[in-house]
Structure formats: structure tokens, C-alpha cells
Chain A
Amino acid sequence: MTLLRVERLGKAYLGVKAVDDVSFTVGPGEIAGLIGPNGSGKSTTIDCLSAFQRADAGRWHLGDVELTGRAPHAIARLGLTRTFQAIRCYETLSLVENLLCATEARRAVGWRDAFFATARLRAHDRSARARAAELLDLVGLARYADAPAGILSYGQRKLLALAGALMTEPKLILLDEPVAGVNPTMIRTIERAIARINAAGIALLIVEHNVEFIMALCSRVIVLDAGRLLAEGPPAIIREDPRVLEAYMGGAPEEAEAGLRA
């Protein structure tokens, strides 16, 4: 039983293969980690899967639905959304409005409903606002609900991004470096938020440099090196895998092991 099935994904820049013949799966409700040294193709993989970059080769399915070649918004509507490494939010909109925008993934109301403010729009608006309040509570931003997102700190914006991703009611969220550049307290907060998201049955694929963070959260880790799939397995096995240690530290297994454990 798989949720996301990626087959032979490929992407090259001017002949340099950033992602080369990579295949893997993510199961329903699973938290999988995607790690690898700098330039190993992690972010490119996520960008291709969510259609922010055009893949040169390969196919990928979410459940039975093929996502290959679809636009980002279409993929989000089918249940796969993502967050970004560079934090993104709608700065002049309030936090609640930020989250309302994400309901577009469910296509609950059309333009006609919006223009005439039909009963359907008002009903949807009420339930969406209630859900937004719930999610802001979940990520601990409830007291900023009506403030413009521009006032949030870096870490708070990452939390808002998580809430936004949840608002699309996804089956799978791709997280691109959710704790890069975040202080240790905020890392704990984000970790807890991710665990709670997963407890609701949503699968996650996490790209992250913070190995400790990955090892703590993920039940399975996928390792890329120079664009190719290097290893795949439970964290405990991966951290002992000589190929992984070699890739991370370029030899000297003892040092590398220390690095992965640090």
C-alpha cells in the first residue's frame, strides 16, 4: 500500500544531472525523511514532485492519480501540497486570511458564489474560519489571528506555513527544510506540530539538514547522493550504513558517524 509512488524521476541542468533515475515511495500516514549532502538533489526532487520545476523524466502518482505534468495548483487540489525552504506568506493579509486562501485547494466555492456572496459561500466561509482558528491554535499562533502575517518572526512564519499546508486538507505534505535557521526552542515547537499533524493521518516527506530532527521524527529515511538514490531504510540502519557515511563525510567512517550522531 503506497500513497506516493515516484518512478525513475530525472532532472538535469545544462547536462548536469541534479536528480538521476530516483524511485521511492511514501506510505499513507508515514513520516519519511529525504536527506543527503549539499547538492544531492533533495530540494530538486521536491520541486519536481510539486511541479515548481519541470521534471525531465519519470512519473509519479498519488494513490491512483498520476501527477506527472500537472500544474502546482492542480497537484495541491489532488492532495499533495508543500512548504518552502525560503519562508513564504501573504504579508499584508491577516493570518486567518492567509489560511482562507489555502481552502482554494478544495474548490468548495466558485467565482459566482464569491461574487454574489451566496449562501454556499457564507457557509463555507464560516466553516473555513472555524478550521483556521483551530489550526492557528494547533501551531500556537491563535493570538495573532487578525494581525497581518508581516509581523511574524521567521520561526512563526514556518508554523503559519504548516497551518496553511494543513488548510488544503492534504494527504501528503512535502516539507522543504522546516527547521533550517530556526532557534532550538522553535525547533521543538515545530517538531511537536509535525507529530500532531501526522497523528491526524497525514503523511509527510521531510527534506532537512538537521539529521537529529529527521532521525527523531521519521520512520524511514531516503538518502540521495549526487542525484542518485543511495540508501533507504529505518533511521537506525541508515546511520550505520557505510555508503551513507562515505557520502556525508567522504570517507573516514568514524568521523562521519560522529557527524551523523551529533
Chain B
Amino acid sequence: MRRVALAVGLVALYALPLAGPSEYWMTIAATACAFAVLSQGLNLVYGYGGLMSLAQVTFWGLGGYTSALLAKDLGWNPWATLPVAGAVAALAGVGVGYASLRLSRHSFAIVSLVAALLVQLVARDWQGLTRGPLGIPGLPALRIGAVVFDSATRFYWPMLTFALVALAVMWRVMRSRIGLMLLAIRQNEPLAGSHGIDALAHRLLAIGLSAVLSGIAGGMFVFLLTIVDPSILDFYYTESMLIMVIIGGPGSFWGVTLAAVAFTVVPELLRLTSELRMVLYGVVLVGAMIGLPAGIGGLIARRREKQWRARLA
């Protein structure tokens, strides 16, 4: 039953462009794929690893800039730039993690914020490298042989494929012994230590994996935009990722996946209030934190406890 649902879902996802939506909606669909990877990466780091990362969008931006520079300045094939984009993002992620986690998990949040601001600064002000606010235009499109993914409708297929692979990898990690160890570390780090669990190694793995996948997603995405500029690093996106994970429920794979799609599409419907979007998002975030402090996952955990109490009573 589950397999059938999954197969039907996959066919529907791949067939989406054939239904003939506009370029505008296909851009949103491709964005939703990319954001699903980013928010799920944040879910792995925050929902499982217990680390608040404010640099998820930074990893995606680093990947975007790396791919753009390699393709534009060194003339690399766009595909060949993607592994490097992932590696640069991973290096940044593991660097931030290693430097800050030796102190505490709270210092990780602060150092990730500093890293995010720093990368924004470099993107805007190091004109020799990044061309500053004007960005790097005129990027080539991804292509396989004669097939050029130069429209959102065509680009959607490789983006969707990568997103599915990335989500499958993260799903596997979350459901495996590694995910269990991460949950244990998040719930009680000292106890995990006394049980022989290496918290630093597991957290660096989560951060590194999340950064690699976000970096590659960013690298791919700039070839749809054909330009990369500092707006790719905007805090609006950071806020969006946080909302997707917190509303979707930290630690809940499907909740976050659905929230990623919903919170990519809904703001587009709210275009009329583009100035108010940030404010609305802020209100939603604060509301969620008050109403569902442990997210939807916390609600489910509490219900499970209640059922067990009733059964054992």
C-alpha cells in the first residue's frame, strides 16, 4: 500500500511539467524541490542534532557562488562544478561545527550566524571575487548531450531528481542507528557520553551531510537563475527554512517535507503583500513557538506517552 502510494506520488511529480503549468509555476516547483532539500538538511541538524543553524542558506549560497565562479571564470562544465560546490559548503559547515561545538551547542548557533553574516559581507563587498551586489550574470544552463535544461519546465526534472536522492539519503540517515544516536545526543548529551556516543562526530556528520546537499542544491539552482547575486543569501530564506522546520515539526521527515512545499507556494499566493511577508513570517514563527513549543513532533510524542500511560494503568 505504502509502496503504491510512493510510486504514484513519484510518477505524479515527474509528470507535473506535462500538465502544462506556466514557467512561473514551474519556477516555484523547482524552488520547492531545492527548499525541501535545505529545510530537510536543517531538520537533520536541528530536529535530530539539536543544533540551531542559521547558516543553512549560507551553505546553499556558497554552493551557488562556487558553481557560478567555476563555470564563469574557469569555464568548467556546470555539472563538474556541483561536487566542488558541495565540498566547499561541507568544509564551511564542518569548520563552523568543529570550531564552535568544542564549547557548546549554543555557541554553534552564534558561530553559524556569524558565518552567515560573513559570507553575506564577502558576497556584497569583495568585488574582485564576487562582483559585489551586481552578481555574476550570464551563467550557462545545465545540459545532457543535446538536452538543455534552460527553462524552469525542463530544469525541474534534474532538480527534482537531485531533491529525491538527497531526501532519500537524509531519510535513511534519520531512520538508521545514526538518527537514533543523534536523537539521543539531542535529548541528553551527558548521558549519551556515558553510553560511549561521540556527540561531536555525529553532529559533524549531520552538519556535513546537510551542508553538502544544500551546497549542491545551490550549485544547481544558479544555472536555472543564470545569475548569482547576494540576494541568494538573504535572511528571508533563513527565516523561511526555520518556519518550515518548526511548523513541520523538528524531527519529522514528512512534516518538514510538506511544510517546505507549502511555505514555498503559499508566499507566492501572498505576493500582493510582499513588504509584509517578512512580518507575517515572523508572526507565524512566534505563534508556532508559543502554540507548539516542541513542534508537531512534540505533540505526537506527548500523545504517545498518554496512550502508553492509559494502556499500562
Contacts and interface: CB of A to CB of B under 8 A. Distances in A.
Interface string A96-107: 011011101111
Contacts of B268: none
B191 interface: yes
B295 to A, nearest CB: 12
A163 B82 CA distance: 47
Contacts of A168: 194-196
A83 B196 contact: no
A104 B192 CA distance: 9
B249 to A, nearest CB: 12
B197 interface: yes
A24 interface: no
B8 to A, nearest CB: 26
A73 B177 CA distance: 17
B143 interface: no
A236 interface: no
A68 interface: no
A164 B193 CA distance: 12
A151 B301 CA distance: 11
A101 B305 contact: no
Interface stretch (A86-94, A206-214, A219-227): A86-94
A117 interface: yes
Interface of A is mostly: helix
A107 B103 CA distance: 25
Interface stretch (B105-113, B124-132, B178-186, B219-227): B178-186
B95 interface: no
Nearest to B297: A92
B22 interface: no
Given A84-B190, A88-B188, A147-B308, A73 B178 contact: no
B183 A90 contact: yes
A151 B180 contact: no
Nearest to A88: B191
A165 interface: yes
B176 A89 contact: no
Contacts of A71: 193, 198
Contacts of B308: 144, 147-148, 151
B211 to A, nearest CB: 17
Contacts of A113: 177
Nearest to A147: B308
Contacts of B188: 88-90
Contacts of A109: 177
B199 A100 contact: no
A88 B172 CA distance: 28
Contact of B194 (A76, A121, A147, A151): A76
Contact of A93 (B177, B180, B193, B312): B180
Interface in A77-134: 77, 81-84, 88-93, 97-98, 100-102, 104-107, 109, 111, 113-115, 117, 121, 125
A104 B195 contact: yes
Contact of A150 (B172, B191, B301, B312): B301
B117 interface: no
12 contacts: A76-B194, A77-B196, A81-B194, A81-B196, A83-B194, A90-B183, A105-B196, A111-B178, A111-B205, A117-B176, A144-B312, A148-B308
Q: Would you list the 6 A-B pairs with minimal beta carbon distance, nearest first?
A: A105-B196, A72-B193, A76-B196, A114-B177, A102-B195, A88-B191
Interface of B: 172-173, 176-178, 180-181, 183-184, 187-188, 190-199, 205, 301, 304-305, 308-309, 312
Given A84-B190, A115-B173, A161-B191, 19 more contacts: A72-B193, A81-B194, A81-B195, A81-B196, A82-B194, A84-B194, A89-B188, A90-B188, A91-B187, A92-B304, A101-B197, A102-B196, A104-B181, A104-B197, A104-B198, A115-B178, A147-B308, A151-B309, A164-B195
